[in-house]
Structure 1
Amino acid sequence: MRKSAWGKSGIVALFFLGFAANAQSDATTQELNSLIDDAIFFTDRYITPATDAAVYQAASGWISTPQKSNLWDFTVGVYVNAFLVPQSDRQFRLSNSDFSFFTIDGADTALTPTALGSDEFVTLNGTLNGEPVVVKSPEGVNRETIVYPYVQAALGLWKGTEIVVKYSPEITLKHVNYQVYGAGLKHNLSQYFKRMAAKKISLTALLAYSKEDITVEFLDVQTAYGNLGFTALNSLIDTWQLQLSAAKAFKKLELSAGFIMNTSDFEYEIQGKKGAIEDIVPLHDILNERLRAIYKTKSNYIGELSARYQFSRIYVQTSIAFGKFVNSNISLQYKFK
């Protein structure tokens, strides 16, 4: 069993004063403390594959072409992104030894889906103040491929620099809502090397920022105090990305390859209607403060290959990004002059 660490926030005092005022025992306080420990553990295992995948989806397709843009060139495109969910990230194993409050109904261990997993579930049992607590573990999106559309535009500025923006509407999948948006600056480097331009080779660098917003249906915890209000879990991800891409033009066809380095900060927050237990103790605030323990920063190194074909001012492009995951992208773009 894991031991909780309340830090210096005075949370222990809130628990003991709140429950003492309501004639509750120290045992109930410890039970609620253990329930929070289990919720933190489950949150990390359940949501991490989805947040890692979101970073890959947001990283792909930023550079439509490494070629130098002219001042006020404007390109807008409609993109369809397809993320392949690996089998290893669709489920994880739970054991009774992982928990300090819950036990798995009828088993010592069980496989349960992540947010990227199936629509199966595991039933968890506990006891709070002598009353049973039964929780069904959250389900996943139940898809092998996650597809979502977005729009992207690029405006040519001075000296081969472009500003690029991307935006997706909020996409609702089964049990999951997802949205991404961001902006970046791209600068052509091959303009400084005349031999590259003569051979129709282009080189460009991109610095971009994106925000990924994921909300999943989470734990529906019913107790003698009513629902605890853990019904939704939100993750906000801030990603900074540096990319280098090179391309070779063959008449109307352009082939390019790129290398992406990005760093992402992950934050989590429990959402949902607060339960009656909030009259005794501010459980939402306590749990969200405790979730800081699983905030994290991660870096990724991603390769990207792309092909783009021109039909007058219309371009068709497809790309694939690969590393820990595989993400593909296809788009239809129009260039205004």
Structure 2
Amino acid sequence: MKRIVSLVAVAFGLQASAQSNINEILAAGLNDAERFTTDYLAPASEGFMYSLSSGWYNTADAKPLGGFEVSIIGNMANYKNKDDKKAFELNTADYENLKFSDGSTSKLVSSALGDIEGVNVYIEDENGLLRQDIELPTGLASESINFVPSAFIQASVGLIKGTELKARFLPKVSTDEYKIGMYGVGIQHEFTKHLPADKILPVAISAVIGYTHLDGSYDFTNSSIVDGEDQKLEVDVNTWVFQAVVSTKLPIINFYGGLGYLSGSSTTDVLGTYRVQSGPFQQTYVDPFSIKRKASGMTANLGAKLKLGFFRLHADYAIAEFNTLSVGMNFGFR
């Protein structure tokens, strides 16, 4: 359980650590800081939603009444070859005070997932008397991290004919720096259970609907660049998936695949007091802004499941805006 919590904390912390590295942008004023932070965090928030929503099923064959399975699942949303997620174009015409030190008006800069280093900007007053130089932050790829992880415990139980109820969770955990918890509910219904030849059909066909919620906070007051108190992020993530699933029905090894749609939203509240004490725009901000992000798109996956009595293993790979690998260790009956 401790390792699962640590893995999810990595995913949650990527947004928090990113924000703690860009507090200095507040020296450019509230509007510029909010615009930059929104663009910088957007790909990380989106990748987290895809990672968090994966792993709802490992077969289309719904469990019979009383059948159950408990799983430990880990997901990795990959962005290694997605350059459009690792950078965004910063055009100074869209900013009130931020300028590139080399005189450029527009260039690609790192997102929270990227690895572009050494990009310098500055802010100065209208008379050119006060100036503040800032190096823009890089992202996770600069640390050779090319995926957004998530992990949780998931349980499934068979109900009435062809219907299976699912629940996933991560118990609420608190440390000096972060608090994080996750839960989700889902339902799977197998249509082939209603066919007269169900017992002899070699395949099963199901529909799956799943909802996942994560909330947490990350306190970075002690590591903040800008002076202040109670500086933290509060993050709220919600995702829905709707998928059609087909699988084989064999005794030991089975193959499955699904096609569906994901819809998610993320809200990141930047809270606390921030005192900008250098540069031309010295000011104090309290709870400066909130960032909202939505993600949606088609997703398709293929996977395999090995069943050895009570013990099972599964793995699948999803093709989507963020391609996601999901692996699980399962313990079940029937």
Contact 1:221/1:230, CA 8 A, preserved across alignment: no
Q: 1:195 aligns with which of 176, 197, 205?
A: 197
Quote how far apart the aligned CAs of 1:320 are.
0.8
- Share of identical aligned residues, percent? 20
Map of 2:92 onto structure 1 = 96
Report the counterpart of residue 3 of structure 1 in structure 2.
Answer: none
CA-based RMSD of the aligned residues comes to 3.6
CA contact (8 A) 2:243 2:259 kept: yes
Query: Does structure 2 conserve the Cα–Cα contact (< 8 Å) formed by 1:229 and 1:284?
Result: no
Amino acid corresponding to residue 89 of structure 2 in structure 1 = R
Residue by residue over 1:256-279, the C-alpha shift from the partner in whole angstroms, topping out at 9 and shown as x without a partner, is 1111212223323113x41357xx
Q: Which has the higher contact order (CA 8 A, sep 6+)?
A: 2
Q: Deviations over 1:94-114 (max 9, x none)?
A: 233232122223342443221
Per the TM alignment, residue 49 of structure 1 is displaced from its structure 2 partner at its CA by 0.7
> Which residue is 1:236 aligned to?
236
Aligned to 1:270: 270
Please list every run of 5 or more consecutive structure 1 residues that lacks an aligned counterpart in the other structure: 1-31
Equivalent position of 2:139 in the other structure: 140
CA distance in 2: counterparts of 1:99 and 1:87, whole angstroms:
24
| 2:258 alignment partner in structure 1 | 258
- Of 317, 324, 329, which aligns to 1:327? 324
Do the aligned partners of 1:240 and 1:264 also contact (CA within 8 Å) in 2? yes
**Gap change, CA 1:228 and 1:91, over 3 Å in 2:** farther
**What secondary structure is seen at the aligned counterpart in 1 of 2:65?**
coil
Q: What is aligned with 2:36?
A: 42
- 1:33 to partner: Cα distance: 11
Match for residue 23 of structure 1? none
2:58 to 43, 64, 68: 64
**Which structure has the larger Rg over C-alpha atoms?**
1
Structure-to-structure mapping, 1:185-224, within 5 angstroms: 185-213=187-215, 222=226
Residue 60 of structure 1 aligns to a residue whose secondary structure is coil
Q: How many angstroms does 1:178 deviate by?
A: 8.1
Measured at CA, do residues 127 and 90 of structure 1 come closer, stay the same or move farther in structure 2, by a change above 3 Å?
A: same
Q: How do 1:307-326 and structure 2 match up within 5 A?
A: 307-326=304-323
Matches of 1:136 and 1:168 in 2, distance apart?
Answer: 37
Match of 2:18 in 1: none
Contact 1:220 1:229 in 2 (8 A): no
Superposed CA offset, 1:39-94 (max 9, x none) = 22212211111111112112221012221212232211122222211232112232
Aligned residues: 291
Contact 1:133 1:221 in 2 (8 A): no
Contact 2:51-2:149 at 8 Å conserved across structures: no
Structure 1 residues 18-57: aligned runs within 5 Å: 35-57=29-51
Residues 54 and 212 in structure 1, CA contact (< 8 A), matched pair in contact too: no
Q: TM-score, normalised by structure 2?
A: 0.74
